[in-house]
Amino acid sequence: RYSDYPDMFISWNILSTIGSIMSTISMILLMFIIMESFLSQRLILFKFFMASNLEWMNLYPPINHTYSEIPSTFNL
């Protein structure tokens, strides 16, 4: 199904057509980017996410009553 407006609304019909073409091109581009990223298997150049913080040491979602008290970090 597609939107079809009466002839007096030709500008809306053109706008609807342009929007659907943009959506189609965007989906094709997204699929190409995903496929290319799987096939190229490039290494990560920069690792911004450092999972060494205390909150990343637990399972997600955390188990009830994970700590008996609120954990603290100290600089030694």
Tens-digit pLDDT string for the chain (76 aa)? 666 667 888 888 888 889 999 999 999 999 999 999 889 887 776 666 666 666 666 666 667 776 777 767 666 5
Q: Is residue 52 part of a domain?
A: no
Q: How many domains does the chain have?
A: 1
* CA distances for 15 relative to 1, 9, 30, 59, 67, angstroms: 16, 10, 22, 48, 57
Q: Is residue 21 part of a domain?
A: yes
Q: Is residue 33 part of a domain?
A: yes
Structural domain including 16 reads: 7-46
Q: Is residue 24 part of a domain?
A: yes
Q: Is residue 19 part of a domain?
A: yes
Q: Is residue 11 part of a domain?
A: yes
Predicted pLDDT of residue 9? 83
Q: Is residue 70 part of a domain?
A: no
